[in-house]
């Protein structure tokens, strides 16, 4: 089984570099990993992520990769449809949700950046601030200086730990861990989630041949890595789940184990140091908002940094603009996560009633693009 670190991949950092570059501002991305790690997985981009990518100049390029998600289906562990959402109608043509390979998303974000905008194999080890600048000491002893430091270094952010004090991520309400993989498409043309007492199983078509899959298991021992135990949880699930599991278990190395961790901290800014993406607000993937929020953070922050004006006001303005949207996602994530822990009969009774309303209540606010 592959470790989750192999698919933590710099979406926020590249988005920030791109947003700055589009405004004619210089930026340097320091990335700990020496290689380009994208692990071959995919990512589900809800309409607000698609909007943000368009604001980053990538609307046409995005249309060339992955595939649009027209419909979501929520089903029981026996396959009965609880409710469906017409995503195409909800988001409209300009923000049609898409599922794309992570490698494609990273390539798009990096496209057109100056060759030296990203330095790989450079781990941030220590940070010092003075009145007008920030200096960063790297693990190899080198020092980089700049006007601002944006901590886009993920859920276990060294920047957050160093500048904002120890704020360890907490386990998500949804569960302790999940597994991600790519598999042959068993004939699905919709985003499909099967929910049962022991676990959740989601398949999203990336194209006609391939699906991106995600499974989570509740209860004691769920953080473990025993794939045979995970397999047993889904014994009663319908054929597409059984076939997919049997096939992927032949290649356990291609299954990615991901702890489900969240970051909820009181401050994202301290002087000239700012946090964004998972470093600021990692959230369980219930509404698939990780990439979307990171892209939006980048747009808002680049707008403020390029705007001139009071330098001391940038951090507070960034938090004031972003906290309401992020707080909304966190609240809606908790709300839906609670239904995952309900007994089957209660969830199956409740979801057809509250499911469509939750979808609308969560995403309606996000249809308004961020102003950048």
The residues of the shown chain that bind ligand FAD, judged by CB under 6 A, are: 8-13, 30-33, 43-44, 49, 123-124, 152-155, 158, 178, 180, 214, 258, 277-279, 285, 288-292, 294
Residue nearest to ligand FAD (CB): 290
- To the nearest whole angstrom, how small is the minimum distance from the Cβ of residue 310 to ligand FAD? 27
- To the nearest whole angstrom, how small is the minimum distance from the Cβ of residue 215 to ligand FAD? 9
Residue with smaller CB distance to ligand FAD, 255 or 348: 255
Residue with smaller CB distance to ligand FAD, 10 or 348: 10
* Size of the chain, expressed as the number of residues it contains: 372
- To the nearest whole angstrom, how small is the minimum distance from the Cβ of residue 284 to ligand FAD? 8
Measured CA to CA in angstroms, residue 339 lies from 71, 102, 198, 309, 343 at distances of 21, 29, 12, 46, 9
Per 3-state DSSP, what percentage of the chain is helix, strand, and coil (rounded to 5)? 40, 25, 35
> What does the DSSP assignment read for 311-349?
GGGHHHHHHHHHHHHHHHHHHHHHHHHHHHTS-HHHHHH
Residue with smaller CB distance to ligand FAD, 152 or 370: 152
- To the nearest whole angstrom, how small is the minimum distance from the Cβ of residue 226 to ligand FAD? 18
Query: What tokens appear for 191 in the block?
Result: 């985003």
Residue with smaller CB distance to ligand FAD, 126 or 349: 126
Residue with smaller CB distance to ligand FAD, 11 or 17: 11
Closest CA to 268 of 131, 145, 362, 157: 157
User: Which DSSP symbol is given to 286?
Assistant: T
- To the nearest whole angstrom, how small is the minimum distance from the Cβ of residue 157 to ligand FAD? 7
Residue with smaller CB distance to ligand FAD, 50 or 348: 50
- To the nearest whole angstrom, how small is the minimum distance from the Cβ of residue 292 to ligand FAD? 5
User: Which DSSP symbol is given to 253?
Assistant: G
DSSP strand E in 56-175: where?
Answer: 67-68, 71-76, 81-86, 98-101, 118-120, 124-129, 134-138, 143-146, 149-151, 170-171
Q: Are 260 and 174 in contact (CB under 8 A)?
A: yes
């Amino acid at each position: 089984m592959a470790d989750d670190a192999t698919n933590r991949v710099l979406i926020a950092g590249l988005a920030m570099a791109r947003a700055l570059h589009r405004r004619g501002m210089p930026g340097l991305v320091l990335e700990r990993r020496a290689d380009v790690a994208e692990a071959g997985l995919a990512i589900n981009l809800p309409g607000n992520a698609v909007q943000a990518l368009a604001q980053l100049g990538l609307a046409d390029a995005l249309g060339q990769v992955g595939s649009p998600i027209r419909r979501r289906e929520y089903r029981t562990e026996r396959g009965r449809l609880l409710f469906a959402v017409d995503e195409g109608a909800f988001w409209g043509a300009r923000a049609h949700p898409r599922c794309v390979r992570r490698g494609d998303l990273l390539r798009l974000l990096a496209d057109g950046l100056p060759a030296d905008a990203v330095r790989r194999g450079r781990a941030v080890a220590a940070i010092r601030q003075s009145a007008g600048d920030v200096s960063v000491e790297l693990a190899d002893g080198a020092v980089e200086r700049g006007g601002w430091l944006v901590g886009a270094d993920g859920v276990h952010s060294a920047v957050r730990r160093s500048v904002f004090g120890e704020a360890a991520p907490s386990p998500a309400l949804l569960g302790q861990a999940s597994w991600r993989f790519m598999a042959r498409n068993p004939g699905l043309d919709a985003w499909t989630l099967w929910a049962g007492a022991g676990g959740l199983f989601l398949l999203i078509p990336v194209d006609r041949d391939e699906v991106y899959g995600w499974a989570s298991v509740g209860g004691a021992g769920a953080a473990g890595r025993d794939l045979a135990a995970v397999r047993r949880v889904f014994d009663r699930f319908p054929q597409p789940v059984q076939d997919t599991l049997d096939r992927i278990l032949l290649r356990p190395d291609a299954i990615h184990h991901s702890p489900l961790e969240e970051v909820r901290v009181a401050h994202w800014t301290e002087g000239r140091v700012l946090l964004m993406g998972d470093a600021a607000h990692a959230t369980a993937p219930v509404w698939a908002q990780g990439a979307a929020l990171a892209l939006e953070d980048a747009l808002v922050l680049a707008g403020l940094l390029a705007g001139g004006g009071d330098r001391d006001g940038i951090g507070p303005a960034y938090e004031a603009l972003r906290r309401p949207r992020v707080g909304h996602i966190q609240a809606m994530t908790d709300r839906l996560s609670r239904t995952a822990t309900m007994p089957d009969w209660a969830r199956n009774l409740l979801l057809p009633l509250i499911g469509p309303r939750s979808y609308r209540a969560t995403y309606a606010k996000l249809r308004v693009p961020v102003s950048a």
